[in-house]
Structure 1
């Protein structure tokens, strides 16, 4: 037992020295910038992200972020036509698709660094910026009548005042009327925790969780038909980011 204890002690001592050496080797490398790409899901949709960071110290980065995302209204319910079987589904009452491009600047500060190559570095993210939202109108296939009062199908922009469930067959192409929308500028605040776990010091593999608030000057009309729309969009998100660090 005594010999086994000595052997185990030597093993743990060797691992401890190896871990210290790993930390020392990583600490010696001075990185200047990093780039990451990723995807996210949030409580109102999904998005794609690009982030560029410049190191202000060994544990702090000034970050510049670009995101593309969409927003869904919490009252959206997918519906299928009762007139034709196999028709494409649509969201009754939805007047616009809401797409957004976010640009922001902020800080990413590490407060728990890696203790070994298998460790996890934890940092907080705090961003602020501008949201450029675009409300793209919804177009639907509807049943109407020609000049001789025969039923025909047409693609029309959804209007809650004239279209009801009995008229609608299904949604039209998403790109129909893409340029007929309207921009809604707003402000963005983003806060999160970033968990980075890459075993290669120059690589970045990170899981990030947090929350965002997009505030607009007025309510953004996603839904019609007397459904309340929102001016402030608050969401929780989970993101996966991949990339690398550079010394120059």
Structure 2
């Protein structure tokens, strides 16, 4: 028990001395602007983006967040042609490639400030804005067994093409002229954990969730019901810099 009290008092003295020392440290000047890039891994794909912020105070920042995501369906499964290794793999049931371009505006606020010697700083953020979904149809090489196994390149249709009729995935360029746009809104919220000793350079891990809502429904998998909304969790790594306008 005496050892416990001794350790407790020792920890208290150390923390108190750090606090006193921190009080004597002159705060670094406010760097008003922040610019960073990030790559994120989502529950339904991956993506990347750019973020620009302007600090109003040490703990409050207005932010622009621009992101582009490659979105997949969690139920998609890759198939291979067991008769021809040169045939491209495909996802049975997947009718479109889907992407999302988001331009969001919001705030970022500090929960726990980074100590003067470096360490970890935790922030929370909330953004909202416009979202443009982009759907490109998928083309497949289809085997026509009725006409002697002739191959033809066709837009994939789950109601028309069975698994045994698909020879392989067609070229990505096919279907670019048939792209459909899905306008909508998006919201992003989460926590940002910055680490490292430097104020001018930023490195951070970020976790949160994104909600997308579309005016026109999105149907990635042909067997599923078209969706007007999508929710995803994500984990991201961000890196960038802080500066003032005259830097």
Give the TM bin, normalised by the shorter chain.
Answer: 0.7 to 0.9
Alignment partner, residue 235 of structure 1: 232
Map 1:14-163 → 2, pairs under 5 A: 16=18, 20=22, 24-25=25-26, 27-85=27-85, 87-144=87-144, 149-163=147-161
Alignment partner, residue 173 of structure 1: 171
Unaligned runs of 5+ in 1: 1-7
Q: Please give the per-residue CA displacement for 1:76-122, whole angstroms capped at 9, x wherever unaligned.
A: 11122354345322111111111110000000001210123331111
Task: Give the Cα separation in 1 of the matches to 2:140 and 2:66.
Answer: 32
Task: Give the Cα separation in 2 of the matches to 1:19 and 1:94.
Answer: 61
Task: Give the Cα separation in 2 of the matches to 1:18 and 1:178.
Answer: 64
Question: Given the two structures, how large is their TM-score scaled by the length of structure 1?
Answer: 0.86
Task: Give the Cα separation in 2 of the matches to 1:84 and 1:168.
Answer: 12
Q: Counterpart of 1:46 in 2: which secondary structure? A: strand
Task: Give the Cα separation in 1 of the matches to 2:227 and 2:157.
Answer: 19
- Cα 1:154/1:132, change in 2 over 3 Å: same
The total of aligned residue pairs comes to: 235
Q: Counterpart of 2:119 in 1: which secondary structure? A: coil
Q: Counterpart of 2:87 in 1: which secondary structure? A: coil
Using the TM superposition, give the Cα deviation of residue 233 of structure 1 relative to its aligned residue in structure 2, in angstroms: 0.5
Superposition misfits of 4+ residues, deviation over 4 angstroms? none
Using the TM superposition, give the Cα deviation of residue 38 of structure 1 relative to its aligned residue in structure 2, in angstroms: 1.0
Aligned residues: CA RMSD: 2.6
Using the TM superposition, give the Cα deviation of residue 19 of structure 1 relative to its aligned residue in structure 2, in angstroms: 6.3
Task: Give the Cα separation in 2 of the matches to 1:179 and 1:39.
Answer: 29
Using the TM superposition, give the Cα deviation of residue 156 of structure 1 relative to its aligned residue in structure 2, in angstroms: 1.7
Task: Give the Cα separation in 2 of the matches to 1:209 and 1:215.
Answer: 20
Q: Counterpart of 2:235 in 1: which secondary structure? A: strand
Q: Counterpart of 2:56 in 1: which secondary structure? A: strand
Unaligned runs of 5+ in 2: 1-9
Task: Give the Cα separation in 1 of the matches to 2:62 and 2:78.
Answer: 42
Alignment partner, residue 6 of structure 2: none
Q: Please give the per-residue CA displacement for 1:42-62, whole angstroms capped at 9, x wherever unaligned.
A: 100000110000111111110
